[in-house]
Amino acid sequence: MLQTSFQYNLKSLKDAAQFVIEHAGNSKLWCFYGLMGAGKTTLIKEVCKQLELTDEVSSPTFSLVNEYKLGSGKLIYHFDFYRVNNIEEVYDMGYEDYFYSDNLCLIEWPEKIEEILKDESYIEISISMANEGRQLKISHQKSG
């Protein structure tokens, strides 16, 4: 498991987003870990901006998933599983249609769906407080 890290603050948010994009490789599942208020949604907004998304990006806290369209026609799915009470809700929403669509899936609160992720390959993006900003750690998780 390759792991790498990057320190950033709001002034260097663009650089942090580029760091994530560059280190994601071909992974289609990007899992964002961090405490409430750590900046997961803020970083996702900047990642989407760097991917040249023109749609308004907002946290799908109540809808579980938002769909954004890139200029290329490809889609980005943005999940927020914070309010998921049980894994059945995720099965009922048809997560497979999103995860296996070959579109990018950006996932907040992936710890709520660990049962599903154990069989997936994904990148783990952990955000924590550090000095005057944030510490970003990226690692590739392989299924199996």
* pLDDT for position 1: 46
* pLDDT for position 55: 77
Q: Is the pLDDT score of 86 beyond 70?
A: yes
Contact by Cβ (8 Å): 74, 101: no
* pLDDT for position 82: 93
pLDDT tens for each residue of 104-113: 999 999 999 9
Q: Which residue has the higher pLDDT, 119 or 103?
A: 103
Mean pLDDT of 79-86: 93
CA distance 105 to 88: 19
From 1-5, 49-53, 130-134, the region with the lowest mean pLDDT: 1-5
- Coil vs helix vs strand at 109: coil
Q: Is the pLDDT score of 2 beyond 60?
A: no
Q: Which residue has the higher pLDDT, 35 or 131?
A: 35
pLDDT tens for each residue of 50-67: 998 877 887 776 778 999
Q: Is the pLDDT score of 144 beyond 60?
A: no
pLDDT tens for each residue of 10-37: 899 999 999 999 999 889 999 999 999 8
Report all structural domains of the chain as residue ranges with CATH numbers, in order of start: 3-141 (3.40.50.300)
Specify the DSSP class assigned to residue 107.
E
| 11 CB burial (10 A radius; 0-12, 13-18, 19+) | exposed
